[in-house]
């Protein structure tokens, strides 16, 4: 039997939005907080909404800006060689006819251009791309990562939120990850002990779940599926899970009242049968981390 890590990191993800991912993450975090020091980390930094479930949460400490070092040009030092534009993988630098233009909005702050400039004509300065803020609701800590409006550099904010969450040394960390399978989702699940993929029995969700399974498989992460709105549609999520050798660790039946209250950010802590399901899911996750269940080949 494997040991449970000092901090159990659970990433709640989904191939598509609207499956009930944030709601499940919030309730899992509450179930964890009933017994252990737990933090809910909102990594859906483009549109974080976990705090909508905790309107009474109070702020703890200062908001921390997330900054990035971006290059600026010293024109009198530049020879116009174009090495910086060739070095940039993100198309943030254009060198045309010896004139260099830097689009700081596209810059990811990797520093390659600065390092490779033969004339030392690029310097760096910090710009703020987002922030993290720490809140508390009862015994549950909630850390939110939020990108500045109009920015596209979500991964810097996600990594900053992960680092701040880790520094708080909780026993359980539940991450609400961005939907989809692109770069932000990849960064959000990276390093998790277990990934919960939330799906609903619809054709769209089935298709996107398959892509999400490939994402966690690519990272060699343990994972299981929670079927939300069970009975709502007829897409065969269970067959896909069998085919991909992925356990279904929970089935949450569809209830119209619950679906509409969930969309408006309401907790269902007074729903005993629902909270029992959440407890069971959490126990399955702990068991899977201790053993080989959910190991993807």
Stretch near ligand SF4 under the rule CB under 6 A, chosen from 76-84, 137-145, 253-261, 268-276: 76-84
Q: CB of 159: closest distance to ligand SF4 in angstroms?
A: 15
Interatomic CA distance for residues 80 and 98, integer angstroms: 4
DSSP labels for 60-100?
-S--EEEEEEEEEE-GGG-----HHHHH-TTS-EEEETTEE
**90 interacts with ligand SF4 by CB under 6 A:** yes
The site that binds ligand SF4 (CB under 6 A) totals a number of residues, namely 29
Helical (H) or strand (E) element with 209: helix 203-218
With contact defined as beta carbons under 8 Å apart, do 194 and 175 qualify? no
Q: Cβ closer to ligand SF4: 92 or 177?
A: 92
**155 interacts with ligand SF4 by CB under 6 A:** no
With contact defined as beta carbons under 8 Å apart, do 200 and 253 qualify? no
Of 43, 100, 143, 197, the residue at the interface with ligand SF4 (CB under 6 A) is: 100
Stretch near ligand SF4 under the rule CB under 6 A, chosen from 117-125, 134-142, 145-153, 220-228: 117-125
**156 interacts with ligand SF4 by CB under 6 A:** no
**127 interacts with ligand SF4 by CB under 6 A:** no
The values of phi and psi at residue 23, to 5°, are: -60, -45
The values of phi and psi at residue 103, to 5°, are: -95, 100
Q: How many residues make up the chain in this entry?
A: 297
**113 interacts with ligand SF4 by CB under 6 A:** yes
Angle of helix 21-33 relative to helix 272-290, nearest 10 degrees?
A: 80
**81 interacts with ligand SF4 by CB under 6 A:** yes
**121 interacts with ligand SF4 by CB under 6 A:** yes
Region 41-70 residues binding ligand SF4, contact defined as CB under 6 A: 70
Which tokens hold the place of 9? 């990191």
**122 interacts with ligand SF4 by CB under 6 A:** yes
Contact footprint for ligand SF4 (CB under 6 A)? 70-71, 73, 78-84, 87-88, 90, 92-93, 95, 100, 102, 107-113, 117, 119, 121-122
């Amino acid at each position: 039997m494997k040991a449970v890590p000092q901090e159990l990191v659970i990433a709640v993800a989904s191939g598509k939005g609207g499956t009930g991912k944030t709601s499940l993450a919030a309730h899992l975090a509450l179930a964890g907080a009933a017994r252990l020091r737990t933090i809910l980390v909102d990594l859906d930094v483009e549109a974080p909404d976990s705090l909508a479930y905790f309107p009474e949460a109070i702020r703890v400490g200062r908001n921390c800006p997330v900054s990035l070092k971006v290059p600026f040009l010293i024109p009198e030092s530049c020879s116009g060689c174009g090495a910086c534009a060739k070095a940039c993988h993100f198309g943030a630098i254009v060198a045309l006819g010896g004139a260099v233009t830097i689009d700081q909005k596209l810059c990811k702050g990797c520093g390659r251009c600065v390092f490779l400039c033969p004339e030392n004509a690029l310097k760096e300065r910090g710009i703020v791309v987002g922030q993290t803020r720490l809140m508390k609701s009862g015994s549950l800590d909630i850390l939110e990562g939020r990108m500045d409006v109009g920015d596209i550099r979500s991964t810097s904010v996600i990594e900053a939120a992960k680092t701040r969450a880790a520094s708080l040394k909780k026993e359980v960390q539940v991450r609400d990850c961005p939907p989809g399978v692109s770069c932000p989702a990849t960064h959000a699940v990276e390093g998790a002990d277990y990934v919960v993929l939330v799906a609903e029995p619809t054709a769209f969700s089935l298709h996107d779940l398959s892509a999400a399974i490939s994402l966690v498989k690519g990272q060699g992460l343990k994972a299981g599926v929670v079927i939300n709105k069970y009975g709502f549609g007829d897409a065969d999520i269970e067959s896909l899970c069998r085919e991909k050798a992925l356990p279904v660790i929970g089935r949450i039946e569809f209830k119209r009242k619950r679906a509409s209250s969930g969309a408006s950010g309401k907790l269902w802590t007074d729903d005993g049968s629902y909270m029992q399901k959440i407890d069971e899911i959490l126990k399955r996750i702990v068991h899977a981390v201790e053993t080989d269940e959910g190991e993807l080949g």
